[in-house]
Structure 1
Amino acid sequence: MSVPRSVVTDYFTHYESELVRQRRKNRLRRKMFWAAGVNDLWAVDQHDKWKYKFGLALHSGIDPFVGKIHWMKIWWTNSNPRLILSYYLDAVQELGFMPLVSQSDPGTENFGLANGHTLLRHLHDPSLQGTLQHRWMREKKNVKPEIGWSQMRRRFTPGFENILDIGVNEGWYDPDVLIEAVIREYEV
């Protein structure tokens, strides 16, 4: 794909103005992402941008080496460790394989996934006993899922939010009514 430099410059000036300022001041720091290959690690992350407006929370699991999204789930919560572990286990069962390492931000919702993944890895390779097969990424360093959320916010979210707004405006759905969230949980 060939894109004129002016288009790229205009895009970054409009959407990434802070990064443009940092670049001009030579304050950008390069970071290296390294993965041994496909299924070396799966990075997971949650997204709460719709939590307060629509009462919906998102969660994703990505293989950052190839950019494959293994799951992107929407539910009324993304802070339940059992729910997050179920997303991971569903993906492992569907695909028939698991990564060597899982990766997430530190948060109680990810403890179930970290422990479940570590247990499965220990069952398959007893020499790993006593090791944690999960990488905790601190200080916003779980970059690959964040890039996925950023792309979704730009490409998918505007149109989908319009559809959700129609449901709220027509009275089909009220994110402030807890019983609707509970009923949705049991209907699925």
Structure 2
Amino acid sequence: MSSDDDERNMMIITLFNKGLKQKEISCALNSYGHKISERHLRRVLKLLGLKRRCPQRPFTEIHKAVESEMKQWSPEQGIRAMVKRVRDVRGVRPCYRDDVANIMRYMDASGLQRRSPGKKKIPRRNYISRGPNDTWHIDGNDKLKFFGMWIHLGIDGFSRKVLWLKVGTSNRKQNFVARYFFEAVQEQGGCPQMIRGDRGKENLVVGQMQMAFHMRDLGNQAWRCFRMGTSVHNQRAECFNSILKRTWIKKWLTTFEAMMESGILELDNPVHINCLQYSHLPLLQRDLKTEQTVWNTHDIRKQRNAPGPFGKPDLLFTSPPPGMSFESLWGFIFLFVF
């Protein structure tokens, strides 16, 4: 037997032990210059004594290997991953999927039930808020930015009441967002305990204002009153943005796209964009005001496995359910603006 055959056989043994199928082994050998057909490969595997099926299997070793792996096993991994660990990592062969499945049925019965098709669910954490004005969530919506219009909103985390819903020529300018926040503070008579926003420069002035409002009571710890993070953790604002996208934003996107198709609107023409802003910003603000009013007076229905609270956002904001210490939170959270 030549040295090339020895090298090829060693590669076949290595690839076979990694769990590759015959077609995959043949393709891998061809890529390394060892051209071999699948029929010839089967003859070589038989000469080397490599086979997947065997009536005599080391059940005791398979059981010990599975038991050892279960001590450091991830709860999200199943039978196929265990077969790979036992057969390819620990080298227990031959090892069938049914052998491992029978062992895991009584060693990890709850895990198999949880991972079965239709039963596996994404684990979700419950949103917890101590009461109204505990956390305000702020976020921007850029779905209409190509038409020169940006939307910004603020929502109370406990009651889900929309505190402001504004449309303007930008939601990236710090003074725009700061004005929305300050108007809400004046309307409510104070500021919340915490504000949750995205990592953007537009929120810097809001963060400075929030810390200034709390500086008298908290001192150097006032920075805790403003929290920044990714959008996926800004649940309340992102949820309302998704609802807004399916309703009013979709309506205006359809209108603007129809104007583009008819040749009335050209996005690369700044005059057209300025005219669109002049004529349609009041209309958008009217629709958003209507949406804010309707949302704040709609019923949040009870949901299974959801902690609540449930009811109308306006009522939850002004009169929270029993057990929520609204009065003490109001006195602790709100710092009046002089």
TM-score category, normalised to shorter length: 0.7 to 0.9
Please list the CA deviations of residues 114-148 of structure 1 after superposition, one character each: whole Å capped at 9, or x if unmatched: 111111222xxx23111211011236200110000
Q: How many residues align?
A: 161
% identical equivalent positions: 25
2:229 corresponds to 1:137:
yes
Structure 1 match to 2:128: 34
Structure 1 match to 2:210: 117
The counterpart of 1:104, out of the listed 182, 186, 197, is: 197
1:172 and 1:91 mapped to 2: Cα distance? 37
RMSD of aligned residue pairs (Cα, Å): 2.7
SS at match of 2:152: strand
- Computing the radius of gyration from Cα coordinates, the structure with the larger value is 2
Summarize the Cα distance change of 1:60–1:139 in structure 2 as closer, same or farther, 3 Å threshold.
closer
SS at match of 1:31: coil
SS at match of 1:46: strand
Structure 2 match to 1:6: none
Report how far residue 36 of structure 1 moved.
Answer: 1.0
Structure 1 match to 2:143: 49
Please list the CA deviations of residues 35-88 of structure 1 after superposition, one character each: whole Å capped at 9, or x if unmatched: 110011110001111112x22111100002111111111112111111111110
2:227 and 2:154 mapped to 1: Cα distance? 14
Contact 1:85 1:112 in 2 (8 A): yes
Structure 2 match to 1:127: 217
2:247 and 2:130 mapped to 1: Cα distance? 30
User: Which fold has the larger relative contact order, with Cα–Cα distance below 8 Å and residues 6 or more apart in sequence?
Assistant: 1
Structure 2 match to 1:162: 254
Structure 1, unmatched stretches of 5+, are: 1-22
TM value normalised by structure 2 = 0.43
Structure 2 match to 1:58: 151
1:45 and 1:31 mapped to 2: Cα distance? 21
2:145 and 2:188 mapped to 1: Cα distance? 29
2:128 and 2:149 mapped to 1: Cα distance? 33
Contact 1:106 1:136 in 2 (8 A): yes
TM value normalised by structure 1 = 0.73
Contact 2:136 2:196 in 1 (8 A): yes
1:181 and 1:160 mapped to 2: Cα distance? 15
Structure 2, unmatched stretches of 5+, are: 1-116, 283-338
Summarize the Cα distance change of 1:142–1:174 in structure 2 as closer, same or farther, 3 Å threshold.
same
SS at match of 1:115: helix
Contact 2:231 2:238 in 1 (8 A): no
SS at match of 1:129: helix
Contact 1:76 1:181 in 2 (8 A): no
